Amino acid sequence: MRIVFMGTPDFSVPTLSEIVGRGHEVVGVYTRAPAPSGRRGLELVPSPVHTVAERFGIPVFTPKSLKGEEAAAQFRELGADVAVVVAYGLILPTSILDIPALGCLNLHASLLPRWRGAAPIQRAIMAGDKETGIAVMKMEAGLDTGPVGLLERVIIGPDMTAGELHDRLSYIGADLMGRALSALERGGLDFTPQPDEGIVYASKIEKAEARIDWSRPAAEVHNTIRGLSPFPGAWFPFGADEARVKVLRASLADGTGAPGTALDDQLTIACGTGAVRLTELQKAGKQPMSAATFLNGNDVPKGTRLA
């Protein structure tokens, strides 16, 4: 089939590669425009999808908006049978959704209708969900409201981080989209409307959520840490200068005490109820390090109170 692919981050790359590998003709890739990066922010860096598309020799489009007749005309000229959307970043107006004869398929990382919206991977872990999934959905004008063609469930391990789940869903999703396109090409991809019950929205992660609140129960602190790892990273202020220290991994631990208090000299920290043991941390501008490495250069004896 002739396919337009629309995606931006690393999460999207396996699906683009899968589509090309299955022999489909990708007639164009839409992605975010190159963005400033580097220490001075002077270098314009293309998105991961942009880089891979150029490697495959696929034309790349980076519009700031898809609204208006000019954007629709450009999209229409590509003559795509179907569009595949994976974490693109721009809203597709009806004028775009209606162009491909077989519609626009979106790969969404949740068990729809649970966790519609911007941050389904992080929100599932932060809520303590035991499973999530990846869905191929036919897009409509509403936010992740379209009918589902294929869905695969994935167990969330008790210590799994958002980064680990992101990577797993990315590759499972690539295979799922490949199978969905094969079924669509044969006329055998059936779509089921989402139920009206169980709708939950995965709102964008706000900066204020990343600071660890030790007064919350240990399970909630643990879920926040792994749900925000590796980015943006749950953090606490440390030292005289109150520098931010991210916690990338932790585990539930035994013990009680005043919230934020070190219960031993191994970074076991009391929470509102229970405790967590911090096992991987990252200081600003430094590489991630084990708790043992962190403690080699930072004194956190029993009784230390973290803010």
The dihedral built from the CA positions of residue 255, 258, 259 and 260, taken in this order, carries a sign that is: negative
Give the DSSP per-residue string, 85-115: EES--S---HHHHTSSTT-EEEEESSSTTEE
Residues 88 and 168 in one domain: yes
Residues 213 and 77 in one domain: no
41 pLDDT exceeds 70? Answer: no
CA dist 267 and 276 (Å) reads 8
**What percentage of the chain has pLDDT greater than the value 70?**
99
- Which of 164, 184, 201 is the last residue before a domain boundary? 201
Instruction: Tell me, yes or no, whether 303 lies in a domain.
Output: no
Structure token pair of residue 158: 């008790």
40 pLDDT exceeds 70? Answer: no
Per-residue confidence band for 43, with pLDDT thresholds at 50, 70 and 90: confident
CATH code (residue 187): 3.40.50.170
Tell me if 111 is assigned to a ligand binding site. yes
State the average pLDDT over residues 259-275: 98
The whole domain housing 143 covers 2-201
Residues 94 and 230 in one domain: no
Residues 188 and 289 in one domain: no
CATH code (residue 277): 3.10.25.10
Residues 103 and 187 in one domain: yes
Per-residue confidence band for 36, with pLDDT thresholds at 50, 70 and 90: confident
Contact 66, 91 (CB under 8 A): yes
Tell me if 112 is assigned to a ligand binding site. yes
Instruction: Tell me, yes or no, whether 304 lies in a domain.
Output: no
Residues 113 and 32 in one domain: yes
Residues 141 and 240 in one domain: no
Residues 139 and 180 in one domain: yes
99-142 pLDDT, tens digit per residue, is 999 999 999 999 999 999 999 999 999 999 999 999 999 999 99
pLDDT at 39: 64
Tell me if 113 is assigned to a ligand binding site. yes
Tell me if 93 is assigned to a ligand binding site. no
Task: Tell me phi and psi for residue 241, to 5 degrees.
Answer: -90, 0
Residues 228 and 253 in one domain: yes
**What percentage of the chain has pLDDT greater than the value 90?**
96
Query: H or E stretch including 224?
Result: helix 218-227
Residues 274 and 185 in one domain: no
Instruction: Tell me, yes or no, whether 307 lies in a domain.
Output: no
Total domains present in the chain: 2
